[in-house]
């Protein structure tokens, strides 16, 4: 990315605003979102409650009562946050300030845990082994977390293993690895889901007993590696 994309600020109700860099899935724009996000984490605007990174947008939630107490009667909290955010938006493209962590995630791709693997293989006219090979041969960028506690939206998968969503969501087990379009992700809980399931990890993606209950954060890198069913059981028992 040579030039900074333009952005638009819009309201998400009177308690939050969205800084939108265009409705797109693009790693460099997403890194810009993260750069802004981590700057605000380190140096929050007074009155900011929290910030949430999306694919190409950052949303800031703020405390109207706190901000309006700081201001004169004519200025709204929205105007004030919109103005305060400007100095954080970099003038030129910079690498994301937060150190990237590479997390290696073991995945069992055996049929029992991979109900849709053969569908993806046949849809793309490749063998199931090739699907596994392609899924495990790249590092994935975590664009954002959302949908469920600890659900990371990652990408992009190779064109040859991309797939449409299911027509109707089905129940998927915790740890299931899915593909939707060129995105890949892991379901932290048993839940309804529309992504095509190609494997399962024995790792606990969400552990409420931990200080950081969620394994991933936006901006991390993930690499999948293939394990057997026995290894899956071993890791699962060790983590239990």
Partner 1 sequence: MNLKILKTGMLDSIQDSGRLGYQQFGINPGGTMDKYAAAIANILVGNNTDEAVIEMHFPAPAIFFDQPAMIALSGADFSANINGTQIPLNHAVIINKNTTLQFHTPKNKSRCYLAVKGGVKISKWLNSYSTNLVAEAGGFLGRKLLKDDTLELNNSTNTYNLKDTDDFKILPWSANEDFGIQYKEEFLVMPGSEWDWLDKASQEKFLKNPFFISHNSDRMGYRLASEPLHSATKTELVSSAVNFGTIQLLPDGQLIILMADHQTTGGYPRLGNIISAHLSILAQMKAGDKIQFKFTDHQTAENLILKQQQHLTQLEIACKLRLENYIHENYRH
CA distance 146 to 130: 29
Does position 16 interact with partner 1 (CB under 8 A)? The reply is yes
- Member of 117, 145, 172, 186 binding partner 1 (CB under 8 A): 145
Among the residue ranges 48-56, 86-94, 113-121, 122-130, the one whose residues contact partner 1 (CB under 8 A): 48-56
Closest CB to partner 1 among residues 87, 190: 190
- Member of 151, 187, 224, 232 binding partner 1 (CB under 8 A): 151
Does position 150 interact with partner 1 (CB under 8 A)? The reply is yes
- Member of 18, 89, 134, 156 binding partner 1 (CB under 8 A): 18
Cβ of residue 109: shortest distance to partner 1, in angstroms? 25
Closest CB to partner 1 among residues 100, 118: 100
Pairing of strands 102-108, 221-227: parallel
Among the residue ranges 4-12, 94-102, 196-204, 224-232, the one whose residues contact partner 1 (CB under 8 A): 4-12
Does position 156 interact with partner 1 (CB under 8 A)? The reply is no
Closest CB to partner 1 among residues 119, 206: 206
Binding mask 78-117 for partner 1 (x = CB under 8 A): xx--------------------------------------
For 9-36, b where at least 16 C-beta lie within 10 A, e where not — what string? eeeeeeebbbbbbeeeebeebbbbbbbb
- Member of 2, 3, 23, 72 binding partner 1 (CB under 8 A): 23
Binding site for partner 1 (CB under 8 A): 8, 10-16, 18, 20, 23-25, 37, 49-57, 59, 61, 64-65, 68, 76-79, 144-151, 153, 189, 191, 206, 208, 213-214, 217-218
């Amino acid at each position: 990315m040579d030039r900074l994309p333009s952005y638009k600020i819009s309201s998400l109700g009177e308690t939050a605003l969205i800084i939108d860099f265009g409705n797109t899935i693009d790693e460099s724009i997403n890194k810009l979102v993260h750069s802004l996000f981590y700057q605000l984490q380190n140096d929050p605007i007074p009155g900011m409650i929290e910030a949430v990174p999306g694919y190409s947008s950052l949303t800031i939630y703020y405390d109207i009562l706190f901000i309006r107490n700081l201001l004169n009667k004519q200025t709204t909290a929205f105007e004030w946050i919109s103005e305060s955010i400007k100095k954080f938006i970099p003038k030129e493209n910079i690498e994301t300030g937060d150190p990237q962590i590479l997390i290696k995630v073991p995945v069992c791709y055996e049929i029992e845990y991979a109900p849709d693997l053969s569908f993806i293989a046949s849809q793309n006219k490749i063998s199931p082994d090739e699907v596994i090979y392609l899924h495990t041969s790249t590092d994935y960028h975590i664009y954002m977390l959302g949908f469920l506690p600890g659900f990371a939206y990652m990408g992009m998968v190779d064109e040859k293993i991309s797939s449409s969503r299911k027509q109707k969501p089905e129940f998927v087990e915790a740890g299931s690895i899915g593909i939707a379009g060129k995105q890949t992700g892991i379901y932290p809980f048993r839940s309804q889901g529309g992504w095509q399931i190609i494997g399962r990890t024995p790792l606990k993606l969400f552990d409420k007993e931990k200080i950081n209950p969620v394994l991933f954060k936006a901006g991390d890198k993930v690499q999948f590696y293939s394990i057997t069913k026995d290894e899956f059981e071993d890791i699962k028992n060790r983590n239990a």
